[in-house]
Amino acid sequence: MKTKFNGILTLLLALVVQFTFAQEKEISGTVSDETGPLPGVSVIIKGTSTGVETDFDGLYKIKAKQGDVLVFSYVGMTTSRKTVGSSNQLNVVLEGSNLLEEVVIVGYGTSTKQSFTGSAKVVKADKLELKSVSNVSQALAGEVAGVNVINTSGQPGTSSTIRIRGFGSINGNRDPLYVVDGVPFSGSINSINPADIASTTVLKDATATAIYGSRGANGVILIQTKTGKNGESVIEVDVKTGYNFSYLPRYNTITNPNEFIETAWHAMGNRTLDFDPSNDAVAYANTYLFDDKRGIHTAYNFYNITDVANLIDPLTGKVRKDVTTKYTPENWTDYGFQTSMRTEANLKMSGGSEKTKYFASFGHLDDEGYVINSNYKRLSTRLNLTHKPKDYITANANIGYAYSETMNNGQSSDSGSVFWFVDNIPSIYPLFLRDENGAMIPDPKFGGNIYDYGDSGRGFASLTNSISDAHYNSRGNNRHEFNGNFSINIELAENLTFENKYGVQYYSRTYNSINNPFYGSGASNNGSIYQTNSDALTQNFLNLLRYTKNYKDHNFEVLLAHESNQYKYNYSDASKENVVNLVHGLDQLNNYVVTSSPSTGYQLNSSIESYFGQLNYNFNQKYYLTTSVRRDGSSRFAKDKWGTFGSIGFSWLMNKENFMQDVEFVNFLKLKTSYGLIGDQAGVGIYSGQNSYTMNNLNDNISLGVRAIQNPDLTWETSKIFQVGVESTLFENIVDISLDYYIKNTDDLIFDRRMGPSLGDALIRVNDGQLRNSGLEFDINTQIIRKENFSLDFGLNGEMLSNELIAMPIDPATGEEKVLDISGRYGRSVGHSLYDMYLREWAGVDVANGDPLWNVYYHDANENGTVDDGEKIKSLTEYKQLNPNNKISKETTNVYQDATQKYVGKSAIPKVRGAFRLSGRYHAFDFSTQFAYSLGGYSYDGAYAGLMHNDKIGDNNWHKDIQNSWKQPGDVTDVPRLISDRNVNVNSSSTRFVTSSDYLTLNNLKIGYTLKDTFVQKAGISNVNIWVAGDNLFLLSARDGFNPSTSETGATSTYRYSPLTTVTLGLRVKF
């Protein structure tokens, strides 16, 4: 149809043209992009309205005369201008990257890079697809300045925590809003197959996010799924297969059993010396090294020696050379971790005509983690169909469905954690149970050998074995997830459209925690199941009127809309035990005959209603103005439900001014500024402000327990965001630079104000205090080399963030602002950031006796030059506030409790962090790397602290650094004397374990090869791409095992599933 129409048009034009300008000639050629011929490209003779479109094969024919300039333009591609020469043939390749006219999806509409007044960064599919990830949140790592992506777990299928522009709230919500195809998204981001995503836009500033009102304060991530293209039928298949494994370094712990025994022996000898330095350390250590109460349980003596005097040479402290063992304890890492497969396949089909466009896909992912029985499997499918039944009506249905199964064994934050075992179990303990001769015992139930649950008195995690549990128990869920939206756009009149969109997201999830009846915690109740069932339905209705008008150089777009959003969540759970059928139905409640705890079930409902409008105006496509207003009502607040938000933004395309015409190195220069007021409603509970009671059974009577106090006046947290920015393209389009500076003041902070718990409540959530985030973001991209067969690009982005409390909440007991609020290791007070550490100061190790030392600050009231009882300061900030004129002195103490808590001058917020990318192409090869970096911050390495303990020998493993412990007077070291079960405060929270969180990681590396030869084309294939890629290949940090990129504050946890490393081989074929 279209071809016919074009033909007629061409014919008509030809006739007209022939009549008027007989000297013209016919120019013809093909317009293509990197993937092949491009239909529908507009070809216009500059300065006229004469033009044609390319046909299905990208061909065009147009009458023009020599010297005319042909303008080739296509949405999303750089417009190309070619002067007609002597040849009648003119082929053009359009390029699609980084273009000013490129359509940018923004809130409730589209814009272009050139005209948008706010900060929106588009991350397109080609960048997302470099990484072997299960969801887009992980793929965003390093892509956008000011966006921090925290991969909190290596469990396949985990969504990352995303923070845009710092820490928006103290205790409220810091998560951005996800919007999928124009509908606020409340499901799991995992249900959107990244292969279906055309582009992701991150909205950061007020102009960009204010239209989302009460949900935009922490930034917005817009996800646009793929659509079909007019006239282009494409079948694309990509297949990836690869390996997951644990490659990033872990803590350098003692793994040699002899080394552990020697260290334990040393620690035990020190124990008696700590009681009395004249005691016989060797004799004591020999007696108690293996001892059922004070030392390592005798059952775990794996040597063929019971008399320790024959085991350890007292002169060297080493295990004697000729010692033999009953068995060699297994290295638990070898059994807990594995190299596993990751396979992914996606089939995509798309196409369309003038009236109908479609995109359909099917994806399969099977991602096995490096911890046994941790995996994620997903089947996903999507159909996006657009049809124009009438010229003035466009209807669209875009539906996606995903079914996923997740197994996350071995990851609980308790003795079920494989990670805890791997790093913390002393290397003397065997994985498998041994008989008295040291032989393994065959398992009559599951086959193989019986695992050792440590019930013979293992000092570490007795009666548990996380590796056995990970094999024989099951923690996992399956999830059906549907998301879709249905929209109708009606052109009511010229320039006036009515848009109606219904968005729906639904999921149902069943989680099962199943314990086997033979080993571990389920053995005592003959097997057990804990099952939760939940489902959630979110419905979003949008009615929107849009009016556009161009009058001379004035261009307007106005929209008015009403939107409502309703969320319903149902939850129930049940616990049963005593399993019957061991062959089938282990995940079914009927298969267990005893109820072990009461069932629960409830619903959560919340809703938001909104009215909003926006005005976009530009003059001569040079000066742009955007203003929007949104009024939101939220059911989350008890009384004060409604809030009004809005923004205004300007931008100025300076390069279009006459005075810039001579500045040749500037291709594009935009200055922009914006200001807005945006809220956040998600930081409070769904039923905030409603005092309530829990409902329980007490001996068959109703029992109502008072829940934590609520504040009925709780309402919106509002952020005032100001931004200035510049976007530029310089030196013949070689360098792109964008800079943004913002100040975000959040008022009425959702603040968990702590109270003296003698009130009966320890905290109350209030709107009080003020927080300022400010920052500079930079994003620089350069084309270092741009040749036909060789190109090299370098991109660098980053943020410099500062965060400061401007005001603290009022304490009603005094009517004044609270001086200090301590939250964990961080102190909150005016002038400090959220993450300024408030700790006791480590003062090193006493050279004379190996004692740990901390600083105690005191006011020497009696001026005797030393610290006395009653002079010690517990908490410095408050003391200074109360006693501003007192002179403060400092002393060291070996008593941990006496040390003073204070701001230690270190913050978890880095000075600068971001990412850089080097990528390029050489003939048919292409490569891409992405590194992430962070500089200038500090984190608390709690997992390391746990490995530097003075606990009873055999209770936990040590880091190898323990070998630097103080041994004799005069030793200068930072590791105190190692004593079994004495001086246990050595590793208590202090600056001792505050560690620089500087890091450099290689997030991603990909090398690809594209076959485009005629052979391939003859086979009907337009493009074949083969690549190999690696994710999380490298991490440089202050200490092996310390990975500050896995949590918001960089603090470590011994239970964390450290990111997995993936190496993938991929193949993509386009038909």
Stretch 434-463: interaction string toward another protein, x if CB under 8 A: ---------------------x-xxxxxxx
Q: Return the number of the residue (344 or 577) whose C-beta is nearest another protein.
A: 577
Strand boundaries in 181-317, DSSP class E: 183-184, 197-203, 220-225, 234-245, 312-313
Report in angstroms the alpha-carbon separations of 871 from 175, 862, 900.
Answer: 45, 9, 11
Residue of the chain from 878, 971, 974, 1048 that contacts another protein (CB under 8 A): 878
Under rule CB under 8 A, residue 885 binds another protein: no
538 touching another protein, by CB under 8 A: no
> Residue with structure tokens 């590791």?
975
Positions 461 through 500 that interact with another protein (CB under 8 A): 461-464, 488, 490, 492-493, 498, 500
CB of 415 to another protein, least distance (A): 8
Task: Write out the two tokens for 94.
Answer: 């359009």
Angle at 817 between CA 812 and CA 818, to 5 degrees: 85
Using CB under 8 A, which of 109, 249, 317, 633 touches another protein?
633
669-708 positions binding another protein, by CB under 8 A: 686-687, 690-699, 701-707
**Interface with another protein (CB under 8 A), residue from 759, 784, 1019, 1036:** 759
- In angstroms, give the least distance from the CB of 981 to another protein: 7
Pick out residues in 900-939 that bind another protein (CB under 8 A). 901
Residues whose CB falls within 8 Å of the CB of residue 707, separated by 6 or more in sequence, listed in order: 691, 692, 693, 694
- Which positions from 821 through 840 interact with another protein, judged by CB under 8 A? 821-822
Please report how close the Cβ of residue 635 comes to another protein at its closest, in angstroms: 4
Residue 168 or 295 having the CB closest to another protein: 295
What is the closest distance, in whole angstroms, from the C-beta atom of residue 546 to another protein in the complex?
Answer: 13
Q: Output the six-digit token pair for 116.
A: 């948008």
Distance CA 27, CA 14 (A): 12
Q: What is the token pair recorded at 646?
A: 């809005």
Q: Which is nearer to another protein, 91 or 692 (CB)?
A: 692
If one asks whether residue 758 binds another protein (CB under 8 A), the answer comes out as yes
Closest approach, Cβ 290 to another protein, in A, equals 13
Q: Which of positions 562-591 make contact with another protein (CB under 8 A)?
A: 562, 564, 566, 577
Minimum CB–partner distance for residue 882 and another protein (Å): 7
Q: Which is nearer to another protein, 687 or 925 (CB)?
A: 687
Q: What is the DSSP string of 987-1027?
A: GSSSGGGEEE--EEEEEEEEEEEEE-SHHHHHTT-SEEEEE
Task: Report in angstroms how near the CB of residue 1004 gets to another protein at its nearest.
Answer: 37
Segment contacting another protein by CB under 8 A, of 113-121, 661-669, 781-789, 947-955: 947-955
| Helix 281-288, helix 257-275: angle, nearest 10 | 120
Number of residues that bind another protein (CB under 8 A): 96
Instruction: Enumerate residues 848-877 that contact another protein by CB under 8 A.
Output: 874-875
By three-state DSSP, how is residue 276 classified? Answer: coil
Out of 85, 585, 760, 824, the only residue in the binding site for another protein (CB under 8 A) is 760
Non-local (6+) Cβ contacts of 534 within 8 A are 508, 509, 511, 569, 570, 571, 572
Residue 657 C-beta: closest distance to another protein, Å? 43
Between 7 and 705, name the residue whose CB sits nearer to another protein: 705
Q: Which of 360, 395, 737, 755 is close enough to bind another protein by CB under 8 A?
A: 755
* Residues counted in the chain: 1071
Residue 528 touching another protein (CB under 8 A) = yes
Strand 770-786 versus strand 790-807 pairing type:
antiparallel
Binding mask 1011-1050 for another protein (x = CB under 8 A): ----------------------------------------
Strands in 821-823's sheet, in edge-to-edge order, are: 821-823, 826-828, 836-840, 901-907
For another protein, give the closer residue by CB, 392 or 1071. 392
Give the bridge partners for 483, in sequence order.
Answer: 400, 505
CB atoms within 10 A of CB 523: 15
Sign of CA dihedral 970, 976, 980, 984: positive
Q: Does 313 bind another protein (CB under 8 A)?
A: no
Shortest Å distance, C-beta 697 to another protein:
4
Of 970-1009, which residues contact another protein (CB under 8 A)? 981, 984-985
The secondary element (H helix, E strand) that includes residue 953 is: none
Question: Which one of the spans 317-325, 360-368, 749-757, 904-912 is the region binding another protein (CB under 8 A)?
Answer: 749-757
Which one, 278 or 603, has the nearer CB to another protein?
Answer: 603
Contact call for residues 839 and 825 (beta carbons, < 8 A): yes
- Amino acid sitting at position 65: K
User: In the range 258-297, which residues lie near another protein by CB under 8 A?
Assistant: 292-294
Tell me the torsion sign for CA atoms 828, 830, 834, 838.
negative
Q: Is residue 762 near another protein by the rule CB under 8 A?
A: yes
Q: Using CB atoms within 10 A of its CB, is residue 612 exposed (0-12), middle (13-18) or buried (19+)?
A: buried
Question: What SS3 string covers 799-857?
Answer: EEEEEEEEECCEECCCCEECCCEEECCEEECCCCCCCEEEEECEEEECCCCCCEEEEEE
Name residues contacting another protein, limited to 233-252 (CB under 8 A).
none
Sole window of 107-115, 757-765, 782-790, 860-868 interacting with another protein (rule: CB under 8 A) = 757-765
Kindly state the smallest distance separating residue 642's Cβ from another protein, in Å. 9
Closer to another protein by Cβ: residue 7 or 598: 598
- Restricting to residues 354-413, which ones interact with another protein according to CB under 8 A? 392
Per-residue string for binding with another protein, 778-817, x by CB under 8 A? ---------------------------------xxxx---
Rule CB under 8 A: say whether 951 interacts with another protein: yes
Is residue 641 involved in binding another protein (CB under 8 A)?
Answer: yes
Task: Give the nearest distance from C-beta 988 to another protein in angstroms.
Answer: 9
Return the number of the residue (131 or 818) whose C-beta is nearest another protein: 818
CA-nearest of 934, 929, 898 to 916 is: 929
Closer residue to another protein in complex, CB, 35/692: 692
Which of 771, 783, 708, 713 has its CA nearest to residue 745? 771
CA distance linking residue 272 with residue 848, whole number of Å: 18
Closest CA to 598 of 572, 570, 571: 572
